[in-house]
């Protein structure tokens, strides 16, 4: 009954039979072709890239519908890389000049390319090396036509044990319907393996170091994702204990589903708006099914990242109109392009930057690339004739950026009016508050907007100077830091004073542990991944405004994030024992 401890990824508990996967790198044998075969191999290379692009785009949409738009970001790098013509040209040169087969040329190029990232000290770039490995396996699979069957199609679902798994491997395993849970030697809380597993709700423990050496195929394994524990061949008492725990968790999930049509309202009648985050129109239905009262964040850059050339005005208009028709009479907040950072469009004329997160991204990029910005604004304004559309500008850090964006919007409206289009001329305009500068100057921004939405992911990163994808410092990335809580309070206060409503659309909004505090700070609109809506609603319906204000007063007196987290955890458990 060996017990191993690692990093727990989800609150699920499962018991099942283990299957150990060999995920080691497989190199393609060197194969030289004749000159006559070169055109055929080049044509095969084009088909391979096109098939891989289509596959990734499909997986992204499906994963986003299941886990939310933010987590689907992981596939953004894959899409961008496959859309970049440079790698394909270099692989084609190996085929033409060295007369290598397409499969071997892909393998050779990708190994060399991946080595660049592996030799870098940055954990973020090392994570990119895993992404490159994932892309390599996908390309070779299409080049050779070999579809590796990871799990048997017969028998009960299995617990997968592996050294490491790439994002696409996890998605394929989950789609097979044979995946019960997983445990890996490698990985950490911020690894892509962990993020994908959590997003899909797969009970998982990562970072176990040597689990593959301790488990054999056919062993019975317990995965306790809540406590980060794996038990190999449990005894009868442990089986009973974890079977009861799993049944209890399933009962809790079923009770949350019953909240769908109930209002997000405190026990003393304070209404709170719960909205969903999406990146494609097809995801609207999933949000509504979980009880969302609208869409608080439509992340439009993924319409651009899923294809090699930017969508034109008509394509965008059709997408925004489809989202409006799906959402009905509920609000739809459309965020304009947030390209840059880790979201690079291959056709955008990008130049390498030392620190892209502090470079030409988001609204800065849009204002310098009006050929992309204007068609998007035209499409949004045209679609406004079909529903409650609201426009939100991202990463505003100074008032002049907001005024420039509004100026471009006004020009677009004048053009459309002259062209005879019908639209709503009084579209609500808002900004994302994602930098300390925006939070500190929230009063000035509030005076010139109808609403503000706090994007906690970037706000935390920029305020604390922490890269959450860097496992060396990711533990410092926390919304519980007193500085973050005080900035949030400032934004809410200034918005209320100036008559600009305030919402929150970062991951903090979907974390039930912060719900009571945020309500106490005055937040009345939350936007989150669809799967988090029932849990946040559960907390809201179990508290009073007086409870929330008491928690706020206590938290604002704390000096460390540890004090904040311990206190909020205790307070949340008081109103929801199963938390």
Find the helix or strand (DSSP H, E) in which 272 lies: none
Phi, psi of 297 (to 5 degrees): -160, 110
* Sheet strands side by side (includes 7-8): 3-5, 229-232, 220-224, 13-20, 158-162, 179-184, 204-206, 7-8
Q: Which pLDDT does position 196 carry in this prediction?
A: 76
Q: Which pLDDT does position 152 carry in this prediction?
A: 56
Find the helix or strand (DSSP H, E) in which 391 lies: strand 388-393
Residue 230: name the closest of 189, 268, 183, 177 by CA: 183
Using CA atoms, how far residue 168 sits from 106, 196, 339, in Å, is: 18, 9, 23
Q: Which pLDDT does position 187 carry in this prediction?
A: 77
Q: Which pLDDT does position 473 carry in this prediction?
A: 79
Q: Which pLDDT does position 253 carry in this prediction?
A: 81
Alpha-helical segments (H) within 145-209 = 167-175, 192-200
Instruction: Please give the domain boundaries of the chain with CATH numbers for all domains.
Output: 1-20+148-252 (3.50.30.10), 33-142 (1.10.274.10), 258-573 (3.20.20.60)
Whether 83 contacts 307, CB under 8 Å:
yes
Q: Which pLDDT does position 119 carry in this prediction?
A: 62
Residue 287 known to be catalytic = no
Distance CA 297, CA 280 (A): 11
- Catalytic one among 78, 163, 345, 505? 505
Angle at 245 between CA 243 and CA 249, to 5 degrees: 120
Tokens of 247: 């049944």
HSE-CB at 525 with a 13 A cutoff on CA atoms is 24
Phi, psi of 210 (to 5 degrees): -140, 30
Low-confidence ranges of the chain (pLDDT < 50): 121-122, 149, 346
Whether 232 contacts 4, CB under 8 Å:
yes
Q: Which pLDDT does position 296 carry in this prediction?
A: 97
Q: Which pLDDT does position 524 carry in this prediction?
A: 98
Distance CA 54, CA 463 (A): 38
- Catalytic one among 163, 192, 345, 441? 192
Strands (E) across 203-352 are located at 204-206, 220-224, 229-232, 273-278, 295-299, 331-335
Residue 505 known to be catalytic = yes
Tokens of 162: 């592996």
Q: Which pLDDT does position 25 carry in this prediction?
A: 58
Q: What is the pTM of this model?
A: 0.74
Tokens of 568: 């909020």
């Amino acid at each position: 009954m060996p017990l191993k401890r690692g990093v727990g990824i989800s609150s699920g508990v499962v018991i099942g039979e283990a299957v150990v996967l060999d995920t080691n790198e497989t190199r393609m044998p060197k194969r030289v072709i004749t000159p006559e075969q070169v055109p055929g191999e080049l044509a095969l290379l084009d088909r391979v890239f096109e098939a891989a692009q289509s596959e990734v785009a499909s997986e992204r949409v499906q994963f986003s519908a299941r886990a939310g738009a933010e987590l689907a970001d992981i596939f953004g790098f894959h899409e961008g890389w496959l859309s970049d013509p440079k790698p394909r040209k270099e692989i084609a040169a190996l085929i033409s000049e060295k007369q290598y087969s397409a499969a071997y040329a892909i393998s050779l190029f990708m190994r060399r390319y991946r080595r660049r990232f592996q030799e870098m000290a940055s954990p973020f770039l090392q994570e990119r090396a895993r992404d490159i490995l994932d892309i390599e396996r996908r390309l070779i699979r299409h080049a050779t036509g070999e579809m590796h069957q990871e799990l048997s199609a017969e028998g009960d679902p299995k617990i997968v044990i592996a050294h490491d798994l790439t994002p696409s491997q996890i998605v394929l395993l989950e789609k097979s319907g044979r995946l019960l849970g997983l445990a890996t030697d490698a990985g950490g809380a911020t690894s892509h393996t962990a993020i994908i597993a959590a997003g899909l709700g797969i009970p998982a423990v990562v970072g176990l170091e040597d689990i593959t050496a301790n488990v054999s195929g056919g062993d019975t394994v317990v995965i306790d994702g809540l406590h980060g524990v794996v038990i190999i061949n449990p005894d009868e008492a442990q089986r009973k204990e974890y079977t009861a725990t799993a049944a209890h968790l399933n009962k809790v999930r079923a009770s949350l589903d019953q909240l769908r049509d109930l209002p997000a309202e405190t026990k003393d009648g304070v209404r709170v708006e719960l909205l969903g985050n999406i990146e494609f129109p097809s995801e609207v239905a999933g949000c509504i099914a979980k009880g969302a009262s609208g869409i608080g964040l439509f992340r439009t850059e993924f319409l651009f990242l899923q294809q090699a050339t930017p969508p034109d005005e008509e394509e965008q208009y059709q997408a925004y109109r489809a989202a409006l028709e799906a959402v009905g009479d509920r609000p739809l907040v459309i965020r304009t392009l947030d390209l840059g950072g880790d979201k690079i469009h291959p056709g955008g004329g990008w130049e390498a930057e030392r620190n892209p997160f502090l470079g030409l991204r988001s609204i800065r990029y849009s204002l310098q690339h009006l050929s992309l910005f204007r068609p998007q604004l035209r499409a949004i304004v045209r679609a406004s004739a079909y529903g409650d559309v609201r426009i939100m500008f991202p990463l505003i850090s100074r008032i002049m950026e907001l005024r420039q964006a509004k100026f471009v919007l006004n020009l677009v409206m004048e053009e459309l009016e002259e062209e005879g289009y019908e639209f709503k001329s009084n579209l609500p305009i808002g900004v994302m508050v994602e930098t300390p500068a925006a939070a500190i100057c929230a009063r000035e921004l509030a005076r010139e907007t109808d609403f503000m939405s706090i994007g906690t992911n970037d706000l935390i990163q920029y305020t604390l100077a922490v890269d959450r994808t860097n496992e060396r410092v990711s533990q410092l990335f926390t919304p519980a830091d007193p500085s973050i809580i005080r900035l949030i309070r400032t934004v809410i206060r200034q918005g209320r004073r100036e008559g600009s409503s305030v919402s929150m659309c970062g991951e903090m909004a979907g974390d039930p542990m912060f719900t009571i505090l945020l309500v106490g700070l005055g937040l009345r609109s939350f936007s989150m991944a669809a799967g988090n809506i029932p849990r946040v609603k559960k907390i809201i319906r179990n508290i009073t405004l007086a409870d929330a204000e008491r928690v706020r007063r206590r938290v604002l007196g704390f000096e460390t994030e540890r004090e904040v987290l311990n206190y909020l955890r205790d307070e949340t458990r008081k109103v929801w024992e199963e938390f």
